[in-house]
Amino acid sequence: MTHKVKLNLSIIFTLCFLTFIPSTVNAKTFNQNMIKSTIKKDMKNVGGSWAVQVNNVETPMQNVSVQNTKIKRYRSASTIKVYIMLATYYQVQNKTIKLTPVIKQNLARMIKYSDNNAANYLIRKNGGFSKINKISHKFGFKHTSLKRFMLNNKALANGIDNYTTPQDLSLFLKKVYHKELLGKTYDNKMLYLLNHCQNHSKLPRYIKNTKVFNKTGELPVKGVQNDAAIFKTKYHVYSVVVMSQKGNQYYQYHAMNQLGKHLHKIIK
């Protein structure tokens, strides 16, 4: 056998061998039991009602859901703004709203800085609550309901509020990440805004070297602290949604800070 043939066989053998070595990504596991126990440990002192959903964004069947009550829907606070954003881009895509500089500015302010006046402007521009709810339900967010304007304390005092669930928010995050909502062009626009959210004081607080796409929500008068986030690490893409109401703000923040840090160590 010539030296050249031996060399070629050696290369072929090496390539075949490498093909069957599991990749680092596949070797990393999404340990559901460990995630569940971590959630329970970090959230135990929060008080009130809370629910947490953790999803492996890359593998549909890998998710963990834990809650301390049987509440089906939670006060959304500003997490409702992701659905206002979706409705706006949906109508832009369908040419019922024109993507003017003013619309762009209000979208950016609503998601990046959680500007309530920008959200109210876009609610009106979309045609009101029922139009946004119809679009949200069209995309599968069946337990989400927009019923009042931001800053409308009178409606809040009369028992009217906006609601969503960890499941709906998790589904939104998964679909927008995989470009399964409006397609590549507009889903990328939504991801860009989420990636530039300025509030990283909750789940992402102690996270380093990781791309974060998130939207927070807070309504202190009702003890509400929420965060919905995608974390893109070197090996994994996963989402975490925490919804908490009637809780102690200090313990809510502390729990989310710790949970974000601990999950990152487990899943990364």
pTM of the model: 0.89
pLDDT single digits (tens) 229-251:
999 998 899 999 999 999 999 99
| Nearest residue to 88 (alpha-carbon basis) of 112, 116, 121 | 121
pLDDT single digits (tens) 183-221:
999 999 999 999 999 999 999 999 999 999 999 999 999
| Nearest residue to 93 (alpha-carbon basis) of 181, 192, 173 | 181
8-state DSSP, 204: T
Q: Check: CB of residue 81 under 8 Å from CB of residue 218.
A: no
CATH top-level class of 3-267: alpha beta
Q: What is the pLDDT of residue 3?
A: 47
Asked if the model's pLDDT at residue 7 lies above 60, the reply is no
- H/E run at residue 39: helix 32-43
pLDDT single digits (tens) 22-69:
333 333 468 999 999 999 999 999 999 999 999 999 987 799 999 999
pLDDT single digits (tens) 102-150:
999 999 999 999 999 999 999 999 999 999 999 999 999 999 999 999 9
Q: What is the pLDDT of residue 61?
A: 76
What are the residue ranges spanned by the domains of the chain? Answer: 3-267
| Nearest residue to 226 (alpha-carbon basis) of 238, 237, 214 | 214
Asked if the model's pLDDT at residue 13 lies above 60, the reply is no
